[in-house]
Amino acid sequence: MLKYQAVAHKILTHIEENKLQKGDKLESIEALAERYETSKNTIIKALDVLDSKGIIYQVRGSGIFVRGHKRKGYINLLEMKEVTSSLKNFNTQTEVLALEVQISEAEIEANLELEDKAELYYVKRLHAIEGRPFSIEESYYLKEFVPYLNQEIAEASIFDYLERDLELGFAFVDHFMRIVTLAPENRQLLNLRRQKSGLLIESVYSLKNGRPFNYKKTLFHPDEAQFFVMGQNEF
């Protein structure tokens, strides 16, 4: 992690720990540089990161303000890694429905930009929040990058395992969203009776060099899935 990223992380922690709200003002760049014992330049770069993530906004001649919003229970789509880690303040459960090594099929090859067949870890999991079914996740990891997975890892956080144990952090992700009609077995897993639609998010995670290594399809319960994204108008 680069210096300015570490400082950005510290400022974010400060905002979270002090439960700062939308419109709350941060210290000046000079004061922040002093507090975090770094240069004004590093603070400016750290603030740019927080700005691009929708955490703060900067008003020229006026100051730096917390952006935030007031809605509870919405998941930040761009911060979403795994349901369990995205909903820290809730009691979450993960059930592993399948875990096996597969050979890639056409759909996976297209999404992972594979030119040949490849070995993959396939993991299917059911996530629940406070005992209520929340999402069905099917995830495909290229074995070239993720040589080992087991039940215990899949029951916890696969992302944590990738980052901590394999030092395999993704650099960027593309999410594709649409409403789909749920198959009967998925309606049963999500405990749906009358409703037939769910939200499908397909996600492709790539490494720093642009290489996709993880393709994921997540079906969300129509009443439970609430997402937000924050945008800037830079052009």
Binding residues (CB under 8 A) for a second copy: these are 1, 5, 8-9, 12, 22-23, 48-49, 52-54, 57, 59-60, 62, 65, 67, 69-71, 74, 77-79, 110, 169-179, 195-199, 204, 206, 208-210, 222-223, 225-235
Looking at the Cβ atoms of 19 and 208, the one nearer to a second copy is 208
Looking at the Cβ atoms of 158 and 199, the one nearer to a second copy is 199
Q: How many CB atoms lie within 10 A of CB 26?
A: 19
Question: To the nearest whole angstrom, how small is the minimum distance from the Cβ of residue 186 to a second copy?
Answer: 15
Question: To the nearest whole angstrom, how small is the minimum distance from the Cβ of residue 18 to a second copy?
Answer: 19
Question: To the nearest whole angstrom, how small is the minimum distance from the Cβ of residue 15 to a second copy?
Answer: 13
Looking at the Cβ atoms of 99 and 206, the one nearer to a second copy is 206
Question: To the nearest whole angstrom, how small is the minimum distance from the Cβ of residue 53 to a second copy?
Answer: 7
Q: Which residues contact 12 (CB under 8 A, 6 or more apart)?
A: 50, 55
Looking at the Cβ atoms of 102 and 206, the one nearer to a second copy is 206
Pairing type for strands 197-206 and 172-181 reads antiparallel
What does DSSP assign to residue 39? -
Looking at the Cβ atoms of 28 and 195, the one nearer to a second copy is 195
Spatial contact of 124 and 154, defined as CB atoms under 8 Å apart: no
User: How many residues can be counted in the chain?
Assistant: 235
CA distances from 27 to 8, 45, 50, 59, 163 (A): 14, 15, 14, 13, 32
What does DSSP assign to residue 159? H
For 111, the 3-state DSSP assignment is helix
Question: To the nearest whole angstrom, how small is the minimum distance from the Cβ of residue 37 to a second copy?
Answer: 20
